[in-house]
Amino acid sequence: MARPAAGGLLRFGFHGLSYAHIARVLPRLIGETAKGRVVVAHLGHGASLCALAGGRSVATTMGLTTLGGLMMGTRSGTVDPGLVLHLIQARGMAAVEVADLLNRRSGLLGVSGISDDVRVLGASEAPEAREALDLFAYRIARETGSLAVALGGLDALVFTGGIGENAAGIRASVCARLAFLGLDLDPERNAEGHSRIDRNGSTVAVLVIPADEEREIADEVGCLVSA
């Protein structure tokens, strides 16, 4: 990869420890499929997706900062860059106000006007809560499709992170939107919290794997100490 010129900026992405953990344990769960085209969805208060090819990251939804990509608890995710200019130039907002709006008052909280917590929204009967959850799942599915294009197809989808591991409804909503890719979710396995939640015969493996970023840190430190 070419390095940026002096003063340039790099697209880094985030949640690297989480994705490293998934890449390490996935072969034990799905064998050779882990070397194929995999999208990992790290879904928590912060959320991103990562495309893995041969166990290595080739694309991610986050970029220079944690604001880009998916809609999150209080972060907007990717928006039209012109929106920022409009808020500053036409609405007279200061840059710090725009930053606060996009980072702390958008996402699930901003759309619902109720909460940034999917558990609270899931228990609410307010239509705004349903709208926020539907948009959250839609954005995840849409970006998964985008990464599938980057990979040239999709062999496995992995959910991780607090929401990814515990919100069966979000997983079901995302997977329903991706059925056209050959993904066939098993509703019972999904509801019961199995690690493998696709139906037998699904052309795309679907898994739930707990995040273990602390383990990755420990392993990295161990490698440095023993080197």
220 is in an annotated binding site: no
214 is in an annotated binding site: no
46 is in an annotated binding site: yes
Phi-psi region of 121 (alpha: psi -120 to 50; beta: other; left: phi over 0): alpha
164 is in an annotated binding site: yes
44 is in an annotated binding site: yes
15 is in an annotated binding site: no
Taking Cα atoms as reference points, which of 84, 80, 78, 85 lies closest to residue 64? 78
213 is in an annotated binding site: yes
Pair of tokens at residue 45: 């208060």
Which contiguous run of DSSP H or E holds residue 77? none
30 is in an annotated binding site: no
166 is in an annotated binding site: yes
Residues 94 and 100: their CA atoms lie apart, in Å, by 10
Question: How would you list the strands of the sheet with 156-160, edge to edge?
Answer: 56-60, 47-53, 37-43, 156-160, 205-208
194 is in an annotated binding site: no
42 is in an annotated binding site: yes
DSSP, residue by residue, 89-119: HTS---HHHHHHHHHHSSHHHHHHSS-S-HH
Residues annotated within the binding site for Mg(2+) are 213
Binding residues for ATP: 42-46, 117-119, 162-166
Task: List, as residue ranges, the binding site.
Answer: 42-46, 117-119, 162-166, 213
